[in-house]
Structure 1
Amino acid sequence: MATSFNEQFDQLGTWRREFALRLKLLAEWMKDHDLLDAGVEERLRRLETQVRSDKVMVAFVAEFSRGKSEMINAVFFAGYGRRIMPASAGRTTMCPTEMGYDADVPPCLRLLPIETRLQPQALMEWRMAPEKWVRFDLDVNNPQHLAKSLEKVAETIKVTQDEARSLGFWHNQSPQDNPMVDAHGMVEVPRWRHALINIAHPLLKQGLVILDTPGLNAIGAEPELTVSLIPQAHAVVFILGADTGVTKSDLSIWREHLITESSEADTRLVVLNKIDTMWDALSTPQQIDSEIERQKASTAQILEIAQDHVIAVSAQKGLVAKVTKDDELLQQSCLLQLEDALGNGIMGRRQKILSQAMADGIKALRQETGRVINIRKRDLNEQTLELKGLQGKNATVIKNMRARIADEQSEFDVGGAKIHAVRSVHLKLLREVFLLLGSSVLKREMAELTIVLTQKGLKIGAKKAYGDTFEKLRANLKTVQSIVAEIQSMLNASFRQLNAEYGLSLQAPSEPQVSGVIAELDMIERNHLQYLGVGNAFKLAQVEFSDRLVRALSTRVRSVHESALAEVELWSKTAAAQLDAQMRERRRNFTRRIEAIDRIQQASGGLEDRIVEIDQQVHTLSQLDVKLTELTSYLIAAHDSARQLAPSA
């Protein structure tokens, strides 16, 4: 039984594959016609990588026993005809679990031992060390074997209270949140710190990543979840019990880990699960619906969100309905409303962003390539006028014409030395940008914060150190923006001069904007500030936790800097490639003009033949221009078809 979310994701996956194929064909066509300079090739490569590998992460967040794993089964894995993620009564998902697809890795479950929390490395660093994970191969064609294997994410071990404290599961200042102590004084904790599931599920193959997170204690003990993974999710589904509504621990998760900017409210869905517990035989359907609506209104009011962002469902009944193909029960479960919100709402917005980026990239690419074609046509037309001016002239005139072209060529070559000098200044300024965004400067700016957070005892100056660190990072980014603006000004001036002196048509690409990077830094800072309140003072006092926190922060900020660096590199490469392409075309033009004069001097009738030949070349270029418009228009039109596949909620 197809669902709205699955159908939509499948359609968008088809669109992405076709778009990537068309990009590849466009690149091959451009290469065949000598239109693929370094800047255009880099832009095409990035567009193809982006459309092929764009990931959409949906994070499911809830306290224990809210039916989170059952909801994942119902929405994504009902096609297996049984439960895949463990969803029995009690605690099931004991460690954060990511499900995705990597074609280079065989189907498997990888588990990171909980003991790695005693070591300072951040989760991202552990990802780079696959040999430290325990791996189990998965038989994706055997649902029973698959489900049995995935039960490992629920495994636990018994440890002493001191060990539990070191691992982050025991806090003397909040005894009500500590796990039960058995008769032998031992405490049950998760066996694994993090789980990665790699399977070729149709949705996962198309770029979906599912993040299943355990309860409040586990979330709070793993700072990388709250400062990196969850904030970067494109959708967060926060699950509550329909019968209990918003409990104290639910409210803690919401306020401490899920509240972000109001502009991101649309990416947060609140789900009241288990409405089937309210299906009371003693109540009429109208009374049941009225009670559910009251619970939705109360939830929206407590969490301070719009009521249409609260959806009431029964994941368990929805899963049963899909497996048994019971349409009536599926409607009663209201699961399709959740899928519609995920598919048409959040997925739709994500797809619009991706398709708009593709359309903008193709338009810029067409403009750059069209400029090269127009330069070639203009040079050929100038040649035609030049040659027609020689009709009926004697050998001396033709000889003088050749000498004049040779002088122009020499003058142009001298201009090339000027261009090299301007480039040297650009590269010097670019090196400053690369230095400011590099790892050594980041390490230096993080040094004070690292010292404050990793010292023993209460971190009195932590909040000030955080503020100072982020101010320095923002100041560096503002300096980057200033340098980039200076380079852009120099590019504009030098391009105008070259256009005037040599008849080029250079146009500096739009400079990269750092404001978006600064906004991302602001968000990272807000996500981290939650740990600096009085409530987390004792947790921060643990050196191991503080060390993990600062490493998670460094990893996150480094990725932001690397993204900014990539944008600056593309901008620089695009400008340089455009200049190289037009200089190369001009040199070719000088060579062709001299060759044409030589042919005319050596053979009678060569002049007319050359004029006809140039006319044919101009016609071929006009055909290339038409074909370029045709190929790129198809890709730009694909943006509109993607928007139709992804209507707003």
Structure 2
Amino acid sequence: MVTSFNEQIGHYGAWRREFALRLKLLAAWMKEHGLMDSGVEARLQRLEDQMRSDKVMVAFVAEFSRGKSELINALFFASYGRRIMPASAGRTTMCPTELGFDAGVPPSLRLLPIESRLHPQSLAEWRQASDQWTHVPLDVDDAEQLALALEKVTDVRRVTQDEARALGFWHDEVPDDNPPMDADGRVEVPRWRHALVNIEHPLLAQGLVILDTPGLNAIGAEPELTVNLIPQAHAVVFLLAADTGVTKSDLSVWREHLSHGADEVNARLVVLNKIDTLWDTLSTPEQVKLQIVQQRVASADILGVPAQQVMAVSAQKGLVAKITFDAELLQASGLPALEAALGDGILAQRHEILRAVVARGVTDLRNETGRVLQVRRRDLAEQKMELQGLGGKNSAVIKNMRSRIEQEKQEFDMGNAKIHAVRSVQHKLLGEMFGLLGSRNLKAEMGLLAAAMRQRGLKLGVKTVYGETFTRLRANMTKAQAHGAEIHSMLDATFRQLNAEFGFSLQLPPIPDIPRYHAELDEIEASHLQYLGLRNALKLAQPEFAERLVRALATRLRAVNDSAFGEVELWSKSAAAQLEDQLKERRKSFVRRIDGIDRIQEAAGGLDERVAEIEAQEAVLGQFDTRLQLLTSYFLTTAAPTLPPAA
């Protein structure tokens, strides 16, 4: 049985591949016909890469035994005819598990030992150290082998109290949160810190990434999970159990890790799982439905979300229904409604975001290339007028014409000195912008924060240091924005002057949207204040936890700075390439004009022949323009594909 969400993922992947292929063909055509400068090439390559590599991450978050893994099985892996993720009684995911597909990596389960927590490296850094992970080969065509291998994410080990404390699973100050101790004085902790599953599953191959998280104790001990992975998920599915409602630990997970930064209603979905526990044979169907509605309303009220944002499902019955092709049971499980919510929410939203990005980029490219074609047309028209004006003229007039063109060329070359001076100032300001957004500056800021975090005992002043850090980071963004405005103003004046003096059609690209990164910094700061309050004071007192928190924060901030850096770099390259392209076209025009005069002097029939050549070139440019409009119109007129209705 094909589900609505599966169909939508398939449509989404096909749509991305189609757009990426057309962008590649557009780039090849432009390169073949000399219409590609470095700025246009960089923009097209960036758009193509974005279309091919775009991922949609869905994170499943809950306390233990709420049915996360079973819901993942029901939503994504029912076609195997059995459970793939461990979800039977007593088998629960003990470490964060990411499921995705990378064609460059063999099908495998990679497991990072829990002992890696004893080292300062962030999870992002550990991802680059492949030899530190345990690799388990996977056979995607063998459901039994796949399921057996994935059971390793449930592995635990017993350690001493001191080891548990060092690993972040034992806190003397909050004994109620500590795991139980056995007769030998040992406690149970996860064997693995993180798991990466790479399989060519149809949905994962389309760009879906699934994040299965462990319970509150494990989440709280791994700041990188809540600092980086969960906030960057396109949708977060938070599970509750219908037979218990919102428990104290459920509320802790929600308040500490999920209630921040959820600006859009579709970013957080609450799933009231195990509604089959309410299917009481002594109650009428209407009474059962009323109970479920009451549970949804009560849960929504406690969590502070709209009631329609709470979906009631039975993951177990939904999985059974898909495997047995029981349409009636599937509808009763509530799974189709959840799939529709996921599809209509995250996928429709990603469609629109990507389509808008491509449309904006292609519109800029079309306008820029159109200006290049217009410059070439104008140069050809001027050449043709010059040559037609020479009809019947003697050699002295033709010689004077050649001298005048050479004089124009000399004046143009002299004007280039001004351009070089402007470029020098531009590069200086760009260097300062890149310095403000570069890794060295961020590393220094994180060093100051890390020093404050390393202090022993309760860190009562760390909130102030944290706030000051973000104040300086925002100040750097403000300075970068000011430099960008200065560069933009200087280039705008230069472009206007060149357009007036030489008839160029230069148009400066819009200044990078630096304020957008201000907003991202605000969001990151607000979402991490939770770690600096009294609730986490005891955790922060542990140097190892504080160090991991800073490293996780640095990873996310680096992504913001890198994105801003890349946008500034692309903007600068686009402006420089546009100027260089029109300068190059003008130099070629001088060469063609002088060559045309020389050919006329050498041969009596050269004038008519040269005019005919120019007219042929004009016709080719007209064909280029038509072809450009045709190749780009697809991106501007083709909307995101209509998603199939809910199953």
Give the TM interval when normalised to the shorter protein. Answer: over 0.9
Determine the structure 1 residue equivalent to 2:315: 315
Determine the structure 2 residue equivalent to 1:110: 110
1:20-169 alignment, distance < 5 Å = 20-169=20-169
Farther off after superposition, 259-268 or 376-385: 259-268
* Pair 1:148–1:623, CA change in 2 (3 A): same
Looking at structure 2, the residues matched to 544 and 613 of structure 1 have their Cα atoms a distance apart, in angstroms, of 75
Looking at structure 1, the residues matched to 415 and 259 of structure 2 have their Cα atoms a distance apart, in angstroms, of 58
CA contact (8 A) 1:349 1:646 kept: no
CA contact (8 A) 1:60 1:213 kept: yes
Shift of 1:615: 1.1
Q: Which amino acid is the alignment partner of residue 254 of structure 1?
A: W
Instruction: Count residues in correspondence.
Output: 646
Shift of 1:584: 0.6
Determine the structure 2 residue equivalent to 1:194: 194
Tell me, yes or no, if structure 1 residue 264 matches structure 2 residue 264: yes
CA contact (8 A) 1:344 1:646 kept: no
Looking at structure 2, the residues matched to 183 and 267 of structure 1 have their Cα atoms a distance apart, in angstroms, of 45
Determine the structure 1 residue equivalent to 2:593: 593
Deviations 1:146-201 (A, max 9, x none): 00000000000001111111111111222222111111111011000000000011
Looking at structure 1, the residues matched to 359 and 247 of structure 2 have their Cα atoms a distance apart, in angstroms, of 45
1:169-184 alignment, distance < 5 Å = 169-184=169-184
CA contact (8 A) 1:470 1:521 kept: yes
1:221-300 alignment, distance < 5 Å = 221-261=221-261, 263-300=263-300
Shift of 1:91: 4.9
Looking at structure 1, the residues matched to 347 and 338 of structure 2 have their Cα atoms a distance apart, in angstroms, of 12
Determine the structure 1 residue equivalent to 2:359: 359
* Pair 1:210–1:37, CA change in 2 (3 A): same
Deviations 1:93-114 (A, max 9, x none): 0000001111110000000001
CA contact (8 A) 2:109 2:136 kept: yes
SS in 2 for 1:263: coil
Q: Which amino acid is the alignment partner of residue 534 of structure 2?
A: V
CA contact (8 A) 2:4 2:645 kept: no
SS in 2 for 1:392: coil
CA contact (8 A) 1:362 1:635 kept: yes
Determine the structure 2 residue equivalent to 1:556: 556
Shift of 1:427: 0.1
Looking at structure 1, the residues matched to 584 and 554 of structure 2 have their Cα atoms a distance apart, in angstroms, of 44
Determine the structure 2 residue equivalent to 1:457: 457
Shift of 1:40: 0.6
Structure 1 unaligned residues grouped into runs of 5+: none
RMSD over aligned Cα, in angstroms?
1.2
Looking at structure 2, the residues matched to 405 and 6 of structure 1 have their Cα atoms a distance apart, in angstroms, of 66
Shift of 1:47: 0.4
Deviations 1:51-79 (A, max 9, x none): 00011110000000000000000001111
Deviations 1:473-507 (A, max 9, x none): 00011000000000000010000011111111101
Q: Which amino acid is the alignment partner of residue 452 of structure 1?
A: A
Deviations 1:362-418 (A, max 9, x none): 111111111111111111111111111111211111111111001101111111221
Q: Which amino acid is the alignment partner of residue 513 of structure 1?
A: D
Shift of 1:268: 0.3
Looking at structure 1, the residues matched to 498 and 433 of structure 2 have their Cα atoms a distance apart, in angstroms, of 25
1:334-483 alignment, distance < 5 Å = 334-483=334-483
* Pair 1:349–1:247, CA change in 2 (3 A): same
Farther off after superposition, 327-336 or 517-526: 517-526
Shift of 1:637: 2.3
SS in 2 for 1:224: helix
Percent sequence identity over aligned pairs: 65
Looking at structure 2, the residues matched to 407 and 617 of structure 1 have their Cα atoms a distance apart, in angstroms, of 26
SS in 1 for 2:264: helix
CA contact (8 A) 1:344 1:647 kept: no
Q: Which amino acid is the alignment partner of residue 451 of structure 1?
A: A
Runs of 4+ residues over 6 Å off in structure 1? none
Q: Which amino acid is the alignment partner of residue 294 of structure 1?
A: Q
Looking at structure 1, the residues matched to 212 and 334 of structure 2 have their Cα atoms a distance apart, in angstroms, of 21
CA contact (8 A) 1:226 1:527 kept: no
SS in 2 for 1:184: coil
Shift of 1:446: 2.3
Determine the structure 1 residue equivalent to 2:219: 219
SS in 2 for 1:98: strand
SS in 2 for 1:149: helix
SS in 1 for 2:193: strand
Shift of 1:237: 0.3
Deviations 1:245-274 (A, max 9, x none): 111111111111001235233210000001
CA contact (8 A) 1:435 1:441 kept: yes
Looking at structure 1, the residues matched to 119 and 640 of structure 2 have their Cα atoms a distance apart, in angstroms, of 49
CA contact (8 A) 1:348 1:647 kept: no
Q: TM-score, normalised by structure 1?
A: 0.98
1:453-602 alignment, distance < 5 Å = 453-602=453-602
